[in-house]
C-alpha cells in the first residue's frame, strides 16, 4: 500500500473512541480549554478527580491551598491578571460551602471562574449523607450558571458550556457539581468540542447603530462632557479603543475602583477616582457636567451617593455589555448596548475632535484644593507617625507604577486605590462590590500565577490578613513570589473611622490585637521585617521588592488616621467632605 493510499485510509477511518472515566474527562476538558493552574483542596467526594490528577501532573499545575475560600480567591486573582478563566476544586459539603463567599465576590465583580465540586453518590442525594449539601440551590444566587452532573457522559459538553458562559459576555463564576459515581463511571469518550453557542444565552446584545448615532449627537453638542469608566474596559480588552475615544473627544475621564489601571494614572485626561473615598474633583463635577458618558460601569451606590441627587442636570450615555445594568440605578438618556470594544470605535468615528481644555482645567483647579487640604499632608506628614499614603507613595517611586497591586478591604484599600500608580492594565486586583476581608493574600497568590514575571504586591490591613493568614502555607509550599505589605493601625480601621465620625467615637469592638506577623511568616519560612519609623521606610520597601521570593513587611501606621475625602452615606457626591 502506498503512503498516499495509507494516508487516505487513515483519514477516512472514524476517530478512535477512548474509554475514559468521568474524572479523566474533567481533566481533559481543562487541558483543551487551556487551563494550566488549578487551586484546590481534596476531600472524599472529589477524590476520584484527584486520583486522576495524579497522572496529569505534567500538564496541569495544582496549587494546594489551605482553605477553599483561599482557593477561589486565588482563582479570582489569577483571572484578573491573566485575563483567562480561573479554576478552583473543592469537595462536597463544607468544601463547597466554603466557596460561597468567593463566588459572591466573583459574581458582583464579574470574574470568570469555573469551580468544580465533588458530590456524594447520586443514589444518596437528598438523604443527608455525610458531607452532602444542596450546593446547586445554595450557589444559584451567586453564580452565572451552575449544574449538577450525575452521568459522566455529560461531562465534556457541560464543562465546555461552563467555560463558554464564564468567559463570554459579562464574565462571571460558574459552578459544576459532579457526583462521585459520575467521576468513577467509564464511558465512550468521543473527544472534546468547544462550545460557541447556547440557544438561550446571548452573551453580547445586538449593537443598535441608531443609539450610537444618538449618543454621538449628544456628545458633540456637549459643553461639559465627562467620562466615567469601569472594569468593563479591562474585561473587554478595550483599553486602546477607550484611550482613542477620550483623546479624540478631549474628555476628562474618571475611574471607578474596579476600573483602575484601564487608563494609565498619569494620562493627562485622567482626573482621578470616583466614589465614597474618591477624588474631590470627579465627585463634585459629576453634578456639574452636561453629558455624563458611563462606560463599562454599573453605577454602584459607592459611586453615586444619593441617587435622587446624582447628575440630575446631565444627559446620560451608558455603554454596557449587560442590558440589565442600563436603567437599573441611573436612567440613561441614550443606552448603548454591546461590548465596548465594538461600540467605542463606532462612537469614536462619529464624535468631533473638540478642545475641552477649559472644562478639564476646572477639574485641575479642584484637584489643587484637594492637594492642599488632603493629599499633601497625607504624602508629606509632619508628625512622627507614618501614614498609609506616604507608604504607597514611596512604593510608587520604587516600582515605577509597574507592579500588580492586590488589596484586601478597609482603609488601606481606599488609600492604595487613591495613591497607587498604574502604567498598564490588569494591575489592580481588589474586592470591589462585595468588599471581602481576607481576599488580599490568596488573591495575590493567584495573581502571581497569572502574571509570574511581574512584581505582585499584596497590601493588607492587620484585620484582613488574619482572616486568611493560613495561605502563607500555600506560599511556603509552592513558592509564589508575593510581596506582602501589612499596614497595621491596630484597628479595624474603616469601621473605626465610621464610629468616630457618625457614632460619637464609640469604638465598639474595633481594637484588634495581632500576633507578631514577622514571626508568623518566619514560621512559614518566609522572610520579613517590621518598621515604625520614617527613616527606615524606603530601605525596608526596597529590601522587600528586591528579595528573591516571598517577603512580609509590616509597617506600623497612625492608629486613628482617617481616609479623606469622603462622601458620607445618604449624601450627594457634591457634598463630599475634605476633612
Q: pLDDT tens digits for 517-551?
A: 999 999 999 999 999 999 999 999 999 999 999 99
- pLDDT, position 569: 87
- pLDDT, position 234: 98
379-398: pLDDT as tens digits: 999 999 999 999 999 999 99
Q: How confident is the model at residue 467 (pLDDT cuts 50, 70, 90)?
A: very high
For residue 226, what are the β-bridge partners?
A: 292
Three-state SS at 469:
helix
- pLDDT of residue 1 exceeding 70: no
Three-state SS at 14:
coil
Q: What kind and span of H or E run contains 107?
A: helix 100-108
Strands 173-179 and 113-119: parallel
What is the average pLDDT across 74-101? 98
Residues 6+ away with beta carbon under 8 Å from 418: 273, 277, 278, 279, 389, 563
- pLDDT, position 2: 45
- Annotated catalytic residues are 68, 130-131, 180, 494
Count of CA atoms in the C-beta half-sphere (13 A) of 503: 10
Q: How confident is the model at residue 7 (pLDDT cuts 50, 70, 90)?
A: very low
Cell numbers placing 285 = 463635577
What is the average pLDDT across 466-494? 97
- pLDDT, position 5: 43
- pLDDT of residue 124 exceeding 70: yes
What is the average pLDDT across 437-464? 98
- pLDDT of residue 465 exceeding 50: yes
- pLDDT of residue 481 exceeding 90: yes
- What phi, psi does 566 have (nearest 5°)? -150, 130
335-364: pLDDT as tens digits: 999 999 999 999 999 999 999 999 999 999
- pLDDT, position 254: 98
Distances (CA, A) of 103 to 71, 158, 450: 11, 19, 19
What is the average pLDDT across 38-61? 97
Residues 6+ away with beta carbon under 8 Å from 439: 73, 76, 105, 408, 409, 430, 431, 464, 468
- pLDDT of residue 302 exceeding 50: yes
What is the average pLDDT across 439-450? 98
User: Considering the entire predicted model, what is its pTM?
Assistant: 0.95
Q: How confident is the model at residue 15 (pLDDT cuts 50, 70, 90)?
A: low
- What residue ranges define each of the domains in the chain, with the CATH number in brackets? 18-189 (3.40.50.970), 209-362 (3.40.50.1220), 386-560 (3.40.50.970)
- pLDDT, position 579: 87
- pLDDT, position 14: 45
Q: Is the CB of residue 480 less than 8 Å from the CB of residue 550?
A: yes
Amino acid at each position: 500500500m502506498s503512503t498516499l493510499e495509507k494516508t487516505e485510509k487513515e483519514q477516512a477511518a472514524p476517530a478512535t473512541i477512548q474509554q475514559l472515566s468521568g474524572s479523566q474527562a474533567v481533566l481533559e476538558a481543562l487541558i483543551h480549554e487551556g487551563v494550566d493552574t488549578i487551586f484546590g483542596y481534596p476531600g472524599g467526594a472529589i477524590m476520584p478527580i484527584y486520583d486522576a490528577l495524579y497522572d496529569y501532573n505534567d500538564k496541569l499545575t495544582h496549587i494546594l491551598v489551605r482553605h477553599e475560600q483561599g482557593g477561589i480567591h486565588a482563582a479570582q486573582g489569577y483571572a484578573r491578571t491573566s485575563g483567562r478563566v480561573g479554576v478552583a476544586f473543592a469537595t462536597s459539603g463544607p468544601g463547597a460551602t466554603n466557596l460561597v463567599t468567593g463566588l459572591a465576590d466573583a459574581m458582583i465583580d464579574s470574574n470568570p471562574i469555573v469551580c468544580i465540586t465533588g458530590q456524594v453518590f447520586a443514589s444518596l442525594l437528598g438523604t443527608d449523607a455525610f458531607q452532602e449539601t444542596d450546593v446547586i440551590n445554595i450557589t444559584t444566587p451567586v453564580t452565572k450558571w451552575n449544574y449538577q452532573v450525575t452521568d459522566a457522559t455529560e461531562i465534556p459538553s457541560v464543562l465546555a458550556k461552563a467555560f463558554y458562559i464564564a468567559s463570554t459576555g459579562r464574565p462571571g463564576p460558574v459552578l459544576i457539581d459532579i457526583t462521585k459515581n459520575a467521576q468513577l463511571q467509564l464511558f465512550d469518550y468521543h473527544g472534546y468540542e468547544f462550545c460557541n453557542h447556547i440557544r438561550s444565552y446571548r452573551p453580547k446584545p445586538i449593537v443598535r447603530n441608531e443609539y450610537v448615532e444618538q449618543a454621538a449627537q449628544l456628545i458633540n453638542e456637549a459643553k461639559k462632557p465627562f467620562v466615567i469608566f469601569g472594569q468593563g474596559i479591562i474585561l473587554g480588552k478595550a483599553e486602546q479603543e477607550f484611550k482613542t475615544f477620550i483623546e479624540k473627544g478631549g474628555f476628562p475621564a474618571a475611574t471607578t475602583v474596579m476600573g483602575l489601571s484601564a487608563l494609565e494614572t498619569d494620562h493627562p485626561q485622567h482626573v482621578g477616582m470616583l466614589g465614597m473615598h474618591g477624588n474631590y474633583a470627579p465627585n463634585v463635577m459629576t453634578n456639574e457636567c452636561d453629558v455624563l458618558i458611563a462606560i463599562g460601569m454599573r453605577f454602584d451606590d459607592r459611586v453615586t451617593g444619593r441617587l435622587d441627587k446624582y447628575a440630575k442636570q446631565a444627559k446620560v450615555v451608558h455603554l454596557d455589555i449587560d442590558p440589565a445594568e442600563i436603567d437599573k440605578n441611573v436612567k440613561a438618556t441614550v443606552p448603548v448596548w454591546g461590548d465596548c470594544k465594538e461600540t467605542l470605535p463606532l462612537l469614536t468615528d462619529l464624535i468631533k475632535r473638540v478642545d475641552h481644555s477649559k472644562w478639564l482645567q476646572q477639574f485641575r483647579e479642584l484637584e489643587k484644593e484637594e492637594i492642599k487640604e488632603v493629599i499633601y499632608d497625607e504624602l508629606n506628614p509632619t508628625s512622627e507617625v507614618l501614614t498609609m499614603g506616604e507608604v504607597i507613595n514611596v512604593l510608587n517611586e520604587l516600582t515605577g507604577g509597574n507592579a500588580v497591586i492586590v488589596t484586601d478591604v478597609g482603609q488601606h484599600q481606599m488609600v492604595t486605590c487613591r495613591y497607587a500608580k498604574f502604567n498598564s492594565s490588569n494591575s489592580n486586583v481588589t474586592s470591589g462590590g462585595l468588599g471581602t476581608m481576607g481576599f488580599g493574600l490568596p488573591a495575590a497568590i493567584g495573581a502571581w500565577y497569572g502574571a509570574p514575571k511581574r512584581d505582585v504586591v499584596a497590601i493588607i490591613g492587620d484585620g484582613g490578613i488574619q482572616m486568611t493568614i493560613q495561605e502563607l502555607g500555600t506560599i511556603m509550599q509552592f513558592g509564589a513570589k508575593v510581596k506582602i505589605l501589612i499596614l497595621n493601625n491596630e484597628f479595624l480601621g474603616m469601621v473605626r473611622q465610621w464610629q468616630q465620625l457618625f457614632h460619637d467615637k464609640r469604638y465598639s469592638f474595633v481594637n484588634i490585637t495581632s500576633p507578631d506577623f514577622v514571626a508568623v511568616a518566619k514560621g512559614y519560612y518566609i522572610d520579613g521585617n517590621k518598621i515604625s519609623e520614617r527613616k527606615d521606610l524606603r530601605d525596608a520597601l526596597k529590601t522587600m521588592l528586591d528579595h528573591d521570593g516571598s517577603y512580609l513587611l509590616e509597617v506600623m501606621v497612625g492608629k486613628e488616621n482617617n481616609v479623606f475625602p469622603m462622601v458620607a452615606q445618604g449624601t450627594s457626591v457634591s457634598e463630599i467632605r475634605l476633612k
